């Protein structure tokens, strides 16, 4: 094997050497960064040289056609557009993403009709009021609009308090506003349910001990909110952790029994034995469950005694359990460092928490975790496959029909749309492979699928070859060709 | 092992050779595995798709002699589990038996002893039936099958075993089913009060009955014809009183206008909605009555549905009451739709149109049975053959025959789940088939051809896989999806290729080396953006912005190249020392300024452009309400005309002009050159406008085809977003190909006195052309398969128009959207695999061509 390859290599070298000895030398220079600059500059000079030498008259003469300046500018324009696209896109994403969590002041807007609203400014835009709207406006306003060529400005306020207003955002047109203030006692309160509350804090009820607004300090609020959050976490911990675990074991026991039943039949002695065991175990677990449930109920009862009374901008009151508050801040009183604190804490929540309220609030931790796991699992599966494929193509696969075929296949594998892999993964891995695994190893859980449904493993397995070839082919093999192959070649060539 | 060549000055160690060999094997196996992977995927996709095109299979078949009276059988019925079959006979009695074996059960009775049925009709579900009598009365009845699932212990003792699965106690069947349970099936009859359908009391000769139920409010429609040829339509509406749980019924009757004297009605049909009533004569003449006004029915039209001399033997509806199946004594089977037709010779503008013709039977068609699931139906002929076919796909699913001695079937019924068929012959030989027809509605024709669906005015390519009602028929033409993919790809590449290739050429040939090392990675960052982010941003941020500034966006396409060329002419009129000093990075930065400036210009001039060209509102101009076609035609013609005019100018006085320019001192020559360009631009504009006016005079309007109604998520947005995905691929690969051109070629060309531009255009690009082509092909492969951008930004409307401002649905997006809804192994599931296969085939061809071209290019590059 080795010999054949050597022969081929040398044969090729022989072919190349006489025809482009100079070229090879040139190539090797280009590869080395130090020299290339000089070469390139040389080329530039070479290009302009004839133009510099040619003057036959006193003044300079140009051959515009040979310069092709308009075309050069078009080419360059293409590149500029490409770069502008990418930079614009990244800036757009970063700009929109970065500002999302920054706390904004709360404006209290007094409307002409006497009502008020309080909220963060989401955005503002010019619009053209329709004829029906125009007809209802006062003469003055109409004149004002006419001055601006028929446009009026409106602002979108995030008013929160969905439970009171049934809307989160509201448009307010400039001509409806008679004035606006930013009172310091306005709070932005993020809740577990119903989205944010925007309003003032009236009083605090700590298990019967009522603290009025006047004697309420930020420190007390912070401390009580932290305590409330602690209770919330405790309840959640028991419900999602311990009670869930008990339920899981109970289900496990049930499945164990079912498995014995499926294996030996329901009238066999092993089944009777298993049934007995199931009874004792499930009784024990149910006892545990009752204890836990009692504990939760106790905490909940206590928790309900700690409440906060809030009022919106028009005075409508709302009482809230302290433990329902996720985060609160006096939006108009925040210092810069306070704002940064809120900003960072929101980021932290986004990155480390589970989503709430149908994915509209909370964090994306599960998605990050899933992506991470899949990537790791896939990388493990990918690495050998990708390395072998890349090695094969770069080093071993030089000539021959088979090799061209492999190359075509690799490029096809890399070029097949991911959705086709998705279809394949669902049909083959999840349904056929997973379905059979279920039938063989987890008959007691059917018809609920264990492996016979979409999952991390199948996703990774499906993605593996696609990514192995797409990424490793390009990235890895490029690295390989740049770093490794010249070295290998040098070693492989006799006499060098 | 150690051969002559390896014996050098130093012997290779043994373990090195062994390791080498192992590596060799492992790696070669890997290579073969790659081939296997591609083939495996293809084979799996094909394996999932193939069952679509198979007709049906008979799982089991039994023949038995049915031991019932020799009275003519009027109608057959079978329960959902294919356990019990029952038939109504001419003497108004009912027989019931075990469907698989023919073991008789004690017959329930309507209690109509001694009466003779003169006309009979069954609703689609076969359990509701209407019996017409010689005294002009009609009675509505019902065969009810009751099934209940009981635990195995509830099995009564002393049952008579019928077969492995079933046993009977004489009136009910007990079947053992999975999960150690039994199912008890029994049959019961219900009969309603009589309705006087014939005012004169003449015998009823033809009857049709439709039973529809919305909630708990059954609606019964009945059409009866008496021996005098007078037809009556009866509508019985029942309401359930929610408090008393009592049914109250309202019965209304109306008489149809009499048909001409002497005509004999053999068949009658009424639609479930009660809109139309059809009276048919044996000679194939069908009278259609419009019942839109129930009190005043009118004879809308009379048409012949069969050639003369052929007798009408079968007339019935398929599920949904839209497809009317006509069978004749010549064996022909056709389907008619009632639809709006221009110039229809009817009073209501509707007309019966023959839409489908099936392969004819060898002998007269004698029987017809529709399925309750989809548009499948069975027809039998006088030779005893039973053909199961699908109304839309026109696929013949099964050809069954039970009678070598050619006795025709007297009655047949398709099992409610379309998994069985029962046919009784006049000699009481009965055949029972367990059948499996998984995908009756799919054929090559429904997937790739134009299909005339119910309620459509003409055959169309339609994709609509799910609907709201039971009678809905999935429409699965994948042509609009392929069209969508190609449309999206075409427009995306139209946007991406110029930018990518221009950028690649500039990077590889003109950019200073220092800048080049920084620019390339920036462009490659674009390739690493996940397409879901691109699609998301395109749909939610880009789409509204472009919608607002659409005129400016269109203007950019003209302003950008024009201002670049303008800048180039200004640049070349600069004095040479300045040019030489600013060559390189400053020049490139200046290009940036020009690009940014021209974008701002387009933004500022957008409203003016809109006012001037599109009557002030581009979107309403697109809708066709305002403005003229000329301006847009003008815009469309400009690029081609510009090319033509420049070529012509080059041909006519290009060389002489160049020579002349050389003789003139610098600022003047540059000015002259600039003027020449201005002349070309002016000529282009003038000629384009003239042509546009001419074309509009010819009646051409781009709004009918290339552009049209503006939708927010459209092909333009897709092509922008796709640009981010495709540009970096084409750019990188093309740049690699251009850079791979050996430098000695470059040096030689420059050494001969050619400029950089001349070298690029005459030496480098031709040499690297195949590599560049393969780059474009690979970019195209990516565009064809791109999913998330298509899902989010393309609007997903499976339409077939070229309109850039309309949405599309691509193959890939379609899979992503519909796969979660598709039940495993169902028709949709397999059709989606088929679309996957089509996608695979498309990218396979594209990538293979790209690779072959690239191999060719490598070989050529080796020789240089």
Closest partner residue to A412 (CB to CB) among B8, B27, B844 is: B844
Task: Report the half-sphere exposure of B358 (CA within 13 A, side-chain side).
Answer: 31
What gap in Å lies between CA A90 and CA A96, rounded to an integer? 10
Q: State residue A464's pLDDT score.
A: 55
> E strand or H helix at A362, and its extent?
strand A361-362
Q: Report percent pLDDT > 70 for chain A.
A: 74
Measured between CB atoms, does B840 come within 8 Å of chain A? yes
Residues B437 and B485 in one domain: no
**Which whole number is the average pLDDT over A54-65?**
53
Task: Answer yes or no: is B742 within a domain.
Answer: yes
More confident residue, B407 or B269: B269
Beta-carbon separation of A82 and B864 below 8 A: no
* b/e per residue A19-29 (b: at least 16 CB within 10 A): ebeebeebeee
Q: State residue A62's pLDDT score.
A: 60
What gap in Å lies between CA B499 and CA B496, rounded to an integer? 5
Residues B97 and B137 in one domain: yes
What gap in Å lies between CA A3 and CA A9, rounded to an integer? 10
What gap in Å lies between CA B151 and CA B179, rounded to an integer? 9
Q: What is the full DSSP assignment across B491-549?
A: HHHHHHHHHHHHHHHIIIIIS-HHHHHHHHHHHHHHHTS-HHHHHHHIIIIIHHHHHHT
Range of weakest confidence among A382-396, B172-186, B492-506 = A382-396
Q: Is B823 left (phi over 0), alpha (psi -120 to 50) or beta?
A: beta
pLDDT, tens digit (0-9, with 9 covering 90-100), for A397-419: 556 677 778 778 877 887 888 88
What gap in Å lies between CA B666 and CA A323, rounded to an integer? 82
Residues B497 and B387 in one domain: no
Residue B858 confidence (pLDDT) above 80: no
Owning domain of residue B623: 479-629+701-863
pLDDT, tens digit (0-9, with 9 covering 90-100), for B523-564: 888 888 888 888 888 988 889 889 888 889 989 988 999 999
pLDDT, tens digit (0-9, with 9 covering 90-100), for A243-290: 888 888 888 888 888 888 777 777 778 888 888 888 888 888 888 888
What gap in Å lies between CA B416 and CA B373, rounded to an integer? 7
Range of weakest confidence among B466-480, B489-503, B839-853 = B466-480
Residue A143 confidence (pLDDT) above 80: yes
Task: Answer yes or no: is B739 within a domain.
Answer: yes
What confidence tier does B845 reach under pLDDT thresholds 50, 70, 90?
very high
CB B228 within 8 A of CB B204: no
Q: How many CB atoms lie within 10 A of CB B455?
A: 10
Closest partner residue to B523 (CB to CB) among A82, A412, A469 is: A82
Range of weakest confidence among A480-494, B629-643, B720-734 = A480-494
Q: State residue B480's pLDDT score.
A: 94
Tokens, residue A230: 């602690």
CB B248 within 8 A of CB B213: no
Residue A448 confidence (pLDDT) above 50: yes
Beta-strand relationship, B172-177 and B181-196: antiparallel
| Closest alpha carbon to A197 in A105, A320, A344 | A320
Residues B430 and B536 in one domain: no
> E strand or H helix at A86, and its extent?
helix A69-99
> E strand or H helix at B555, and its extent?
helix B550-572
Q: How far apart are the first and last CA of chain B?
A: 37
**DSSP bridge partners of A170:** A157
Task: Answer yes or no: is B786 within a domain.
Answer: yes
Beta-carbon separation of B35 and A36 below 8 A: no
Measured between CB atoms, does B10 come within 8 Å of chain A? no
Measured between CB atoms, does A90 come within 8 Å of chain B? yes
Range of weakest confidence among A471-480, B12-21, B482-491 = A471-480
Closest partner residue to A78 (CB to CB) among B3, B502, B787 is: B502
More confident residue, B110 or B121: B121
**Percentages of chain A per state (helix, strand, coil), in multiples of 5:** 65, 15, 20
Q: Choose the final residue of a domain: B425, B448, B471.
A: B448
Residues B438 and B546 in one domain: no
| Closest alpha carbon to B492 in B708, B807, B726 | B726
Tokens, residue B73: 């059988």
Q: State residue A463's pLDDT score.
A: 58
To test the contact with chain A by mutation, choose from B1, B3, B30, B794 the residue with the greatest count of A C-beta atoms within 10 A, namely: B30
Task: Name the residue with tokens 């002929």.
Answer: B381
**Which whole number is the average pLDDT over B767-786?**
90
CB B75 within 8 A of CB B410: no
What is the dihedral angle through the alpha carbons of B778, B819, A469, B36, rounded to the nearest 10 degrees?
-100
What gap in Å lies between CA B474 and CA B466, rounded to an integer? 6
Residues B444 and B504 in one domain: no
Task: Name the residue with tokens 């022989």.
Answer: A14
Q: Give Cα separations from A64 to B353, B572, B574 (angstroms).
A: 70, 8, 13
Instruction: Find which of A82-86, A124-128, B114-118, B271-275 is predicted with most confidence, using mean pLDDT.
Output: A82-86
Residues of chain A contacting B513 with CB distance shorter than 8 Å: 36-37, 40-41
Range of weakest confidence among A75-89, A125-139, A482-496, B128-142 = A482-496
What gap in Å lies between CA A222 and CA A226, rounded to an integer? 6
Angle in degrees, CA B840, B47, A445, rounded to 5 = 110
Residue B414 confidence (pLDDT) above 90: yes
What gap in Å lies between CA B390 and CA B441, rounded to an integer? 6
Residues B401 and B493 in one domain: no
Residue B506 confidence (pLDDT) above 90: yes
Q: State residue A494's pLDDT score.
A: 33
Report CA B529 to chain centroid distance, whole Å: 31
Closest partner residue to B34 (CB to CB) among A27, A406, A418 is: A406
Tokens, residue B605: 């001039």
Domain of B827: which CATH number?
1.10.3720.10
Task: Answer yes or no: is B10 within a domain.
Answer: no
Closest partner residue to A2 (CB to CB) among B20, B505, B541 is: B20
Tokens, residue B224: 């009866």
Q: Before B285, cis peptide (omega within 30)? A: no
What confidence tier does B84 reach under pLDDT thresholds 50, 70, 90?
very high
ipTM of this predicted structure: 0.82
> E strand or H helix at A15, and its extent?
helix A2-19
Tell me the whole-structure pTM to 2 decimals: 0.83
Q: State residue B860's pLDDT score.
A: 72
| Closest alpha carbon to B75 in B123, B12, B138, B20 | B123
**Which whole number is the average pLDDT over B34-45?**
87
Q: Which of residues 572-611 of B touch A (CB under 8 A)?
A: 572, 575-576, 580, 583-584, 587-588, 591-592, 594-596
Beta-carbon separation of A82 and B787 below 8 A: no
Q: Give Cα separations from B516 to B184, B528, B579 (angstroms).
A: 82, 19, 20
Q: State residue A341's pLDDT score.
A: 92
What gap in Å lies between CA B455 and CA B323, rounded to an integer? 10
CB B225 within 8 A of CB B208: no
Residue A306 confidence (pLDDT) above 50: yes
Range of weakest confidence among A476-490, B597-611, B678-692 = A476-490
Beta-strand relationship, B57-65 and B73-78: unpaired
Q: Choose the final residue of a domain: B397, B428, B448.
A: B448
Q: State residue A462's pLDDT score.
A: 61
Report CA B52 to chain centroid distance, whole Å: 15
What gap in Å lies between CA B432 and CA B423, rounded to an integer? 7
φ, ψ for residue A373 (rounded to 5)?
Answer: -60, -45
To test the contact with chain A by mutation, choose from B568, B747, B763 the residue with the greatest count of A C-beta atoms within 10 A, namely: B568
**DSSP bridge partners of B398:** B388
Q: Which of residues 660-689 of B touch A (CB under 8 A)?
A: 661-666, 669-670, 673, 677
Domain of B204: which CATH number?
2.130.10.10
Sheet holding B204-214, edge to edge: B204-214, B217-226, B231-240, B247-255
Which residues have C-beta within 8 Å of that of residue B389, sequence separation ≥ 6?
B333, B358, B376, B377, B378, B379, B395, B396, B397
What confidence tier does B390 reach under pLDDT thresholds 50, 70, 90?
very high
CB B826 within 8 A of CB B731: no
Q: State residue B658's pLDDT score.
A: 78
pLDDT, tens digit (0-9, with 9 covering 90-100), for A155-185: 999 988 888 888 888 899 888 888 888 888 8
Q: State residue B705's pLDDT score.
A: 74
Total count of domains within chain B: 2
Tokens, residue B217: 């409010």
Q: What is the DSSP letter of B259?
A: P
Q: Choose the final residue of a domain: B427, B448, B469.
A: B448
CB B529 within 8 A of CB B763: no
| Closest alpha carbon to A125 in A83, A156, A168 | A156
Residues B500 and B429 in one domain: no
Q: How far apart are the first and last CA of chain A?
A: 21
Task: Name the residue with tokens 């985060």.
Answer: A327
Residues B421 and B369 in one domain: yes
Residue B686 confidence (pLDDT) above 70: yes
Residues B221 and B87 in one domain: yes
Residues B444 and B487 in one domain: no
Start-end of H helices in A103-243: 131-136, 139-147, 162-165, 218-236
To test the contact with chain A by mutation, choose from B735, B743, B818, B844 the residue with the greatest count of A C-beta atoms within 10 A, namely: B743
Q: State residue A58's pLDDT score.
A: 43
Range of weakest confidence among A74-83, A219-228, B474-483 = A219-228
CB B415 within 8 A of CB B408: no
Task: Answer yes or no: is B148 within a domain.
Answer: yes
Task: Name the residue with tokens 């002695």.
Answer: A269
CB A312 within 8 A of CB A161: yes
pLDDT, tens digit (0-9, with 9 covering 90-100), for A22-37: 333 333 333 333 333 3
Q: State residue A396's pLDDT score.
A: 60
Residue A197 confidence (pLDDT) above 70: yes
Residues B268 and B373 in one domain: yes
Q: State residue A390's pLDDT score.
A: 67
């Amino acid at each position: 094997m080795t010999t054949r390859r050597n022969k081929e290599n040398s044969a090729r070298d022989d072919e190349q050497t006489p025809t482009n000895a100079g070229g090879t030398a040139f190539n090797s220079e280009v590869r080395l960064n130090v020299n290339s600059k000089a070469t390139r500059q040389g080329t530039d000079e070479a290009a302009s040289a004839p133009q510099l030498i040619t003057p036959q008259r006193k003044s300079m003469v140009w051959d515009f056609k040979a310069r092709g300046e308009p075309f050069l500018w078009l080419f360059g324009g293409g590149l500029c557009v490409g770069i502008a696209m990418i930079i614009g896109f990244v800036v757009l994403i970063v700009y929109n993403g970065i500002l999302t969590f920054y706390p904004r002041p709360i404006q209290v807007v007094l409307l002409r009709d006497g009502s008020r609203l309080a909220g963060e400014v989401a955005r503002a835009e010019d619009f053209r009021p329709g004829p029906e709207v125009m007809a209802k406006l006062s003469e003055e306003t109409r004149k004002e609009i006419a001055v601006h060529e028929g446009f009026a400005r409106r602002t979108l306020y995030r008013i929160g308090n969905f439970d009171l207003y049934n809307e989160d955002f509201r448009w307010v047109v400039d001509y409806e506003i008679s004035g606006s203030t930013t009172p310091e006692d306005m709070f932005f309160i993020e809740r577990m349910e119903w989205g944010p509350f925007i309003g003032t804090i009236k009083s605090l009820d700590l298990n019967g001990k009522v603290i009025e607004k006047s004697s309420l300090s930020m420190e007390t609020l912070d401390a009580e909110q932290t305590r409330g959050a602690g209770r919330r976490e405790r309840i959640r911990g028991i419900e999602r952790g311990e009670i869930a675990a008990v339920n899981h074991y109970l289900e496990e026991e049930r499945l164990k029994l079912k498995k014995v039943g499926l294996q030996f039949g329901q009238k066999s002695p092993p089944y009777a034995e298993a049934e007995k065991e199931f009874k004792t175990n499930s009784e024990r677990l149910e006892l545990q469950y009752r204890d836990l449930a009692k504990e939760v109920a106790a905490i909940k009862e206590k928790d309900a005694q700690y409440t906060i009374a809030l009022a919106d901008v028009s005075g409508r009151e709302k009482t809230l359990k302290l433990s329902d508050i996720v985060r609160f801040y006096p939006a108009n009183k925040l210092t810069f460092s306070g704002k940064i604190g809120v900003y960072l804490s929101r980021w932290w929540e986004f990155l480390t928490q589970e989503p709430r309220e149908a994915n509209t609030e909370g964090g994306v931790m599960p998605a990050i975790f899933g992506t991470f796991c899949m990537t790791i699992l896939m990388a493990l599966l990918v690495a050998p496959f990708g390395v072998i494929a890349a090695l094969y193509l770069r080093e071993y696969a030089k000539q021959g029909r088979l090799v061209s075929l492999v190359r075509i296949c690799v490029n096809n594998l890399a070029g097949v749309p991911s959705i086709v892999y998705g279809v394949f993964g669902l049909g083959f891995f999840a349904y056929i492979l997973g379905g059979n695994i279920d039938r063989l190893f987890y008959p007691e859980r059917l018809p609920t699928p264990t492996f016979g449904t979409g999952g991390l493993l199948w996703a990774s397995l499906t993605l593996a070859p696609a990514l192995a070839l797409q990424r490793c082919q390009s990235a890895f093999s490029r690295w390989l060709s740049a770093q490794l192959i010249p070295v290998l070649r040098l070693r492989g060539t006799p006499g060098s | 092992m150690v051969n002559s060549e390896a014996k050098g000055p130093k012997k290779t160690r043994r373990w090195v050779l062994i390791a080498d060999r192992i590596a060799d094997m492992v790696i070669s196996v890997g290579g073969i595995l790659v081939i296997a992977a591609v083939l495996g995927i293809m084979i799996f996709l094909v394996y999932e798709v193939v069952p679509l095109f198979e007709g049906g299979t008979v799982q089991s078949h039994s023949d038995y002699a049915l031991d019932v009276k020799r009275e003519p059988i009027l109608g057959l019925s079978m329960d959902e589990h294919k356990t019990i079959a029952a038939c109504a006979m001419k003497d108004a009695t009912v027989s019931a038996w075990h469907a698989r074996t023919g073991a008789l059960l004690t017959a329930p009775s309507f209690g109509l002893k001694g009466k003779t049925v003169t006309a009979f009709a069954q609703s689609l579900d076969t359990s509701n039936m209407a019996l017409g009598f010689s005294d002009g009365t009609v009675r509505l009845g019902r065969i009810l099958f009751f099934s209940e699932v009981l635990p195995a212990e509830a099995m009564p003792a002393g049952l008579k075993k019928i077969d492995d699965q079933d046993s009977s106690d004489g009136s009910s069947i007990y079947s053992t089913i999975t999960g150690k349970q039994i199912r008890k099936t029994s049959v019961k009859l219900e009969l309603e009060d009589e309705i006087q359908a014939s005012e004169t009391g003449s015998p009823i000769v033809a009857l049709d009955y439709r039973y529809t139920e919305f909630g708990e409010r059954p609606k019964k429609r009945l059409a009866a014809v008496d021996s005098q040829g007078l037809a009556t339509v009866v509508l019985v509406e029942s309401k359930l009183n929610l408090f008393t749980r009592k049914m109250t019924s309202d019965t209304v009757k109306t008489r149809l206008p009499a048909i001409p004297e002497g005509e004999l009605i053999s068949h009658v049909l009424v639609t479930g909605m009660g809109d139309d009533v059809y009276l048919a004569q044996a000679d194939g003449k069908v009278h259609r009555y419009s019942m839109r006004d129930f009190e005043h029915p009118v004879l809308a039209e009379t048409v012949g549905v069969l050639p003369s001399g052929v007798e009408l033997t079968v007339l019935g509806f398929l599920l949904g009451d839209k497809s009317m199946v006509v069978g004749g004594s010549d064996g022909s089977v056709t389907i008619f739709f009632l639809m709006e037709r221009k110039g229809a010779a009817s009073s209501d503008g509707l007309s019966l149109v023959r839409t489908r013709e099936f392969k004819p039977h060898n002998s007269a068609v004698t029987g017809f049975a529709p399925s309750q699931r989809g548009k499948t139906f069975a027809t039998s002929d006088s030779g005893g053959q039973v053909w199961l076919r699908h109304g839309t796909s026109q696929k013949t699913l099964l050809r069954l025959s039970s009678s070598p001695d050619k006795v025709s079937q007297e009655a047949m019924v398709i099992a409610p789940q379309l998994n069985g068929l029962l046919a009784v012959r006049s000699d009481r030989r009965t055949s029972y088939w367990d059948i499996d027809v998984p995908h009756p509605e799919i054929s090559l024709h429904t997937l790739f051809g134009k299909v005339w669906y119910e309620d459509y005015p003409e055959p169309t390519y339609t994709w609509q896989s799910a609907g709201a009602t039971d009678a809905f028929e999935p429409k699965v033409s994948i042509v609009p999806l392929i069209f969508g993919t190609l449309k999206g790809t075409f427009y995306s590449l139209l946007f991406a290729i110029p930018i990518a290739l221009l950028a690649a050429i500039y990077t590889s040939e003109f950019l200073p080396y220092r800048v080049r090392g920084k620019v390339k990675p920036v462009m490659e960052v674009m390739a690493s953006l996940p397409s879901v982010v691109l699609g998301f941003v395109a749909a939610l941020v880009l789409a509204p912005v472009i919608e607002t500034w659409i005129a400016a966006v269109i203007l950019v396409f003209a302003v950008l190249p024009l201002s670049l060329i303008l800048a180039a002419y200004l640049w070349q009129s600069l004095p040479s020392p300045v040019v030489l000093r600013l060559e390189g990075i400053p020049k490139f930065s200046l290009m940036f300024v020009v690009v940014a400036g021209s974008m701002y210009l387009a933004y500022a001039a957008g409203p003016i452009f809109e006012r001037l060209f599109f009557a002030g509102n581009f979107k309403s101009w697109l809708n066709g309400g305002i403005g003229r076609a000329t301006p847009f035609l003008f815009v469309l013609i400009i690029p081609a005309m510009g090319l033509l005019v420049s070529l012509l100018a080059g041909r006519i006085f290009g060389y002489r002009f160049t020579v002349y320019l050389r003789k003139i001192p610098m600022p003047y020559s540059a000015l002259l050159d600039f003027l020449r360009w201005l002349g070309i631009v002016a000529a282009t504009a003038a000629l384009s406008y003239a042509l546009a006016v001419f074309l509009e005079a010819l009646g051409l309007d781009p709004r009918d085809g290339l552009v049209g109604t503006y939708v927010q998520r459209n092909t333009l947005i897709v092509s922008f977003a796709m640009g981010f995905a495709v540009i970096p691929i084409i750019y990188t690969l093309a740049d690699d190909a251009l850079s791979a051109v050996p430098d000695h070629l470059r040096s030689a060309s420059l050494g001969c006195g050619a400029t950089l531009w001349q070298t690029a255009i005459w030496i480098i690009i031709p040499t690297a052309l195949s590599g560049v082509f393969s780059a474009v092909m690979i970019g195209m492969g990516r565009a064809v398969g791109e999913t998330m951008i298509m899902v989010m930004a393309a609007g997903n409307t499976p339409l077939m128009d070229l309109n850039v401002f309309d949405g599309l649905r691509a193959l890939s997006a379609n899979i992503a959207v519909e796969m979660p809804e598709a039940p495993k192994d169902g028709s949709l599931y397999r059709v989606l695999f088929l679309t996957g296969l089509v996608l695979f085939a498309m990218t396979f061809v594209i990538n293979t061509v790209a690779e072959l071209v690239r191999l060719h290019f490598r070989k050529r590059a080796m020789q240089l």
